[in-house]
Structure 1
Amino acid sequence: MVVAVLLALYCVFAALALPRLLGRAAWADRAPRLAIVLWQAASASAVVSALLAVFAVVVPASLVGHGLAGLFDACMALVEVCAELLNDPSAPNAAAAGAGLAAGGLVLARLAYAGGAVLLGARRERRRHAGALALLGRHDDGLGATVVDYEERIAYCVPGRRGQAVITTGALRSLAPPQVAAVLAHERAHLRGRHHLVLAAAESLTRAFPRVPLFERARTEIGRLVELLADDMAARHHPRDQLAAALVRLATGRAPAFALGAGGETALERVRRMLHPQPPLERRERVTGLLAVASLLAGPAALAAAPAVSAFLAHHCHALLTL
């Protein structure tokens, strides 16, 4: 029960305090990929700690410890013990087990429902938009993108199995050829990196558990960081000043809600970043970030496993001593 309480307290700490702690990371703009992984790890640790807290309440540590010697036997024993606890009202942990199983099932069901709603909704919108592009747009082999006759300056990508970069004639008239190439490289970076799935995961957590500070901040930060990451990938093959100039001209363009656009609210911030690049993280800083990710992912699991490992060692050490 102590482990369950500690995991629950960590879940609350992660939900409320981690957004402030991670938000202070001044290095995030220098390593957007690592920062994205860190926000994902923080969100995952909060959810996993909640589920493991339920597990710690429902399943005795001794049961898991003995079951480490045989995974199949442990799974079968887990099912039997849960059934016995739920069917025996006189058992001391019956109420806690029932409430724990219900809470864990609710968390998983909520996540599955929200994730399905986000993915299916976005897929439906992408299909509808792709149909409109097939009628109104034309594919330009030279650009490797779909061109739409529209006065507003917009460049974006429609992700999916047949992802495509899209640019309007207004943007083509406004941008020089090197700028067009840089912007389209930015959009292709989104497609190659499957950034829409990263954003969908963050959106799913926010929709499943609204008003949780960690998930709200993670969604905002990840949305900003994927744009920085796409900028960096485009800047590997195109001049940074050309990409910055293109972002200035596309800053007021509004891409469809389900798409990833080169313009938008973060464009001017990204222009400054392109024109005044900061040095990449040093090896020590990068190792520190990776260790933080590992701690967030492994910490709750290690805490939950500690009693089971102790029971396992106590049982088998005792068995060896009696030989």
Structure 2
Amino acid sequence: MTGTALLVLLSLGTVGGAHLLSKARWTWRAPRLGIALWQALGLSWGVATIGALLGAALLPYRKGVAGGVPGMLADQAGRLDTVHLVALLAAVSLTVVLLAMLMYAVFRVVRARRRHRALLALVSRSDSAAPGTLVLDHPGAAAYCVPGVRSSKVVVSAGTLALLDADELAAVLAHERAHARERHDLVLLPFTSLRQVFPQIRLVGRCLDAVELLIEMAADDRARRHRPPRELATALLRFAAARPGPAPSGTLGVATADDIPVMVRVQRLLEPQPVRRSVRAVVMAAVPLLAGLPLLLYAIPH
């Protein structure tokens, strides 16, 4: 019972932690730390919730989760009554749904990218003003990355070439290449699939929004290693004024028409504020603890 109770508390605690983290602003100072903490919270919630359901189902075996599963398999769940069978079914169902939706999200993204790559092969062109990128003859402002396993494509529109000067364009391209190098698309996939599982829960939507903003900030930080931050800041402001549309499905765009995140990104580019060492140390210790704690609780006997 002890391990199961702790797993329940951990599951509820990660939900509370996600609520607090979705409102936190210190993560803007260290977006990579924030992303790692979000990933640890999400993993801990999933493993703890499934473990809590399994622990409740296996209470008659009095050996916890890790010890109860072999016993249940050995006697073909002979000790489980209706209530415990329902808990077992809930644990199995949640596991299957989470994995299935993750695989479905991967399938949708891969299919969307394959279609978009085929379209780009037909309508895009190269341009000396943006070497190493694909250019679309469209008057609107657009710049995005199409991630890939073997190769990623950075795409800009003719409208972007007209909108930005050479330095601003170089900063935008550095931002998009940062998305490709750090595979931010893989960071988003679990949170995207979680929103598909729980579309009506606002907290899940806020979590995804928070992670999306953090990966944009992480790409900003990598871009300013190679370009002056003012170049990317002015490019973001120009994009915001041009009111760009959403990036195509399966891609990562430099900016959207939402002014608030853009202004936050511009401010942190022009006035960076490093996170305190104490906060960094606590988060770096919390990430592996959150990720590994549910598995340790699986081993606690009744």
Q: With structure 1 as the length reference, what TM-score do the two structures score?
A: 0.82
Aligned length: 292
Report if the CA contact (8 A) 1:138-1:147 is conserved.
Answer: yes
Q: In the TM superposition, what is the alpha-carbon distance from 1:286 to its structure 2 partner?
A: 1.0
Report if the CA contact (8 A) 1:58-1:97 is conserved.
Answer: yes
Q: Look up the match of 1:272.
A: 267
Q: Secondary structure at the match of 1:285?
A: helix
- Does the alignment pair 1:184 with 2:173? yes
Q: Look up the match of 1:319.
A: none
Q: Look up the match of 2:251.
A: 259
Aligned with 1:110 (options 91, 97, 105): 97
CA distance in 2, matches of 1:268, 1:284: 27
CA distance in 1, matches of 2:296, 2:139: 56
Structure 2 unmatched ranges of 5 or more? none
Aligned with 1:288 (options 282, 286, 293): 282
In the alignment, residue 260 of structure 1 is paired with which amino acid?
L
Q: Secondary structure at the match of 2:155?
A: strand
Deviations 1:279-306 (A, max 9, x none): x224322111112223322333333333
Q: 194-203 or 100-109: which moved more?
A: 100-109
- Does the alignment pair 1:302 with 2:291? no
- Does the alignment pair 1:25 with 2:20? no
Q: With structure 2 as the length reference, what TM-score do the two structures score?
A: 0.88
In the alignment, residue 174 of structure 1 is paired with which amino acid?
L
- Does the alignment pair 1:45 with 2:59? no
Aligned-pair identity (%): 37
Q: 1:80 to 1:6 in 2, by over 3 A?
A: closer
Report if the CA contact (8 A) 2:3-2:64 is conserved.
Answer: no
Deviations 1:113-139 (A, max 9, x none): 211221111111111111111111113
CA distance in 2, matches of 1:137, 1:306: 58
Higher Cα Rg, which structure: 1
CA distance in 1, matches of 2:264, 2:98: 33
CA distance in 1, matches of 2:236, 2:64: 59
Report if the CA contact (8 A) 2:64-2:300 is conserved.
Answer: no
Q: Look up the match of 1:4.
A: 4
Q: 1:24 to 1:4 in 2, by over 3 A?
A: same
Report if the CA contact (8 A) 1:19-1:213 is conserved.
Answer: no
Q: Secondary structure at the match of 1:166?
A: strand
CA distance in 1, matches of 2:99, 2:293: 24
Report if the CA contact (8 A) 1:44-1:297 is conserved.
Answer: yes
Q: 1:78 to 1:23 in 2, by over 3 A?
A: closer
Report if the CA contact (8 A) 1:156-1:165 is conserved.
Answer: yes
CA RMSD of aligned residues (A): 2.3
In the alignment, residue 126 of structure 1 is paired with which amino acid?
R
Report if the CA contact (8 A) 1:155-1:250 is conserved.
Answer: no
Structure 1 unmatched ranges of 5 or more? 68-76, 309-323
Deviations 1:6-48 (A, max 9, x none): 4224323432x22332234331011001101111111111111
CA distance in 1, matches of 2:286, 2:64: 31
